[in-house]
Amino acid sequence: MLSFFRKYILQLLVCICYDEKQYIIRCHTWKKSQAIDTFEKSFEDKEKAIEYIKNLTKDFQIYYISTFFTPIAQGVVPSLNLKELSQFGVDVNSVKSIPFKNALLYASNESLGVYKEDYEPFGGLDLLYSPFSLLYHCIESKGFEDKIGLYVYRYHEVVALLICKKEMILFGSYFNIASQTYEELDFFDDIQEEFDLKIDDENQDEEHEENFDLKSLEEMSQELEKLEEMESEQEEINIDSLEGFSSDMKMIEYIISSVKEFYQNPLYDNSFLEEIVIFDEESFSASSLNFLENELFIKPKVELIDTLNLMNELMVKDLRL
């Protein structure tokens, strides 16, 4: 009876993403199977985020809280048999798993416990969404095709990968770009030093020219300030661009490694890939895409997505609103 009347009551759906820097909270109000309103807030301070949600939920009889589950200790195996988890290097006693189409989606008991404890002050968790869940939702929304497809989901440093044939999952892999073991700091230091030397040379040239220019001290000071602002802006753009490209290339390296695992490991029902689709929150560098195409001989497609919106779509579906 309650489920019948529920759709006539204004409900609150709370979606939370934590990206190591801040809590991003997007809320949707829902009534009579329709979205009524959407609002969003971000907090670096956890206590302020908790206070915001507690104050918000006081005004609703029915509310649900979900979050994006990003710990590295999770994955997908193409089998519904729990006994086969060990064949894929998964300790069945240390994880919790649920059916995921023709596969099992698992996560470590420890990580699940940490999330439960962390979000208890918010009012507890009703729904927990793995990147794999959002990725499969993207594939499903796009439409299944009768071909072997490699599908990738990236949220900042988090990457989930599935290889599917129609609805069937053949392979799954999960990765955090920030956990790469090799160091890139020297690379960025070299780039920075080269940039600084270039700026120093330009400054020396301009100083030499100014010796022959009878400008006022005030004019020279103003021009110097403008030059410093331009240098600072250019430095930020160049470093951001380099870091973005580096992140893309780490992801490409991971994709290629996963494809090799799929092709070479007899545990998987491997077939040659026919399609590559990347679902990403951010734009992807053309150079990285070209590199991936040259390696796998398939032109990848990129589709921009919004993780918080996808979470809301799944909440509506799972709660049957």
Instruction: Count up the domains in the chain and report the number.
Output: 2
Domain boundary among 239, 259, 279: 239
Determine the pLDDT at residue 186: 43
Q: How far apart, in whole angstroms, are the C-alpha atoms of residue 321 and residue 302? A: 30
Q: Say yes or no to pLDDT of 38 above 70.
A: yes
Buried b (16+ CB within 10 A) or exposed e, 107-141: bbeebbeebeeebeebbebbbbbbbbbbbbbbbee
Determine the pLDDT at residue 231: 52
Structural domain harbouring 205: 188-239
Rounded to an integer, the average pLDDT of 9-13 is: 95
* C-beta of residue 118 within 8 angstroms of C-beta of residue 291: no
Q: Say yes or no to pLDDT of 88 above 50.
A: yes
Determine the pLDDT at residue 321: 86
Q: Say yes or no to pLDDT of 257 above 70.
A: yes
Between residues 245 and 174, the one the model is more confident about: 174
**Total H helices, total E strands in the chain:** 8, 13
Tens of pLDDT along 143-185?
Answer: 988 899 999 999 999 999 999 999 999 999 999 988 754 334 4
Domain boundary among 68, 91, 114: 68
Q: Say yes or no to pLDDT of 216 above 90.
A: no
Q: Is residue 313 part of a domain?
A: no
Confidence tier at 221 by pLDDT (50, 70, 90)? low
State the amino acid at position 243 in one-letter form: E
CATH number, domain containing residue 47: 3.30.420
DSSP state of 33: T
What is the token pair recorded at 213? 């220019």
Q: Is residue 215 part of a domain?
A: yes
**Cβ of 161: how many Cβ atoms within 10 Å?**
25
Determine the pLDDT at residue 270: 80
Q: Is residue 91 part of a domain?
A: no
Q: Closest Cα partner for 66 from 279, 321, 305, 313?
A: 313
DSSP 245-293: HHHHHHHHHHHHHHHHHHHH-TTS------EEEEEESS---HHHHHHHH
Tens of pLDDT along 261-317?
Answer: 999 999 998 889 999 999 999 888 888 899 999 999 999 999 999 999 999 999 999
Rounded to an integer, the average pLDDT of 22-39 is: 94
Determine the pLDDT at residue 6: 77
Q: Is residue 211 part of a domain?
A: yes
Q: Say yes or no to pLDDT of 53 above 70.
A: yes
Q: Is residue 311 part of a domain?
A: no
- Phi/psi for 276 (5° steps) reads -130, 125
Q: Say yes or no to pLDDT of 191 above 50.
A: no
Q: Is residue 309 part of a domain?
A: no
Buried b (16+ CB within 10 A) or exposed e, 242-270: beeebbbbbbbbbbeebbeebeeeeebeb
Q: Is residue 76 part of a domain?
A: no
Domain boundary among 18, 49, 68: 68
Average pLDDT over the chain, rounded to an integer: 84
Pairing outcome for strands 34-43 and 23-31: antiparallel
Q: Is residue 276 part of a domain?
A: no
Q: How far apart, in whole angstroms, are the C-alpha atoms of residue 14 and residue 41? A: 11
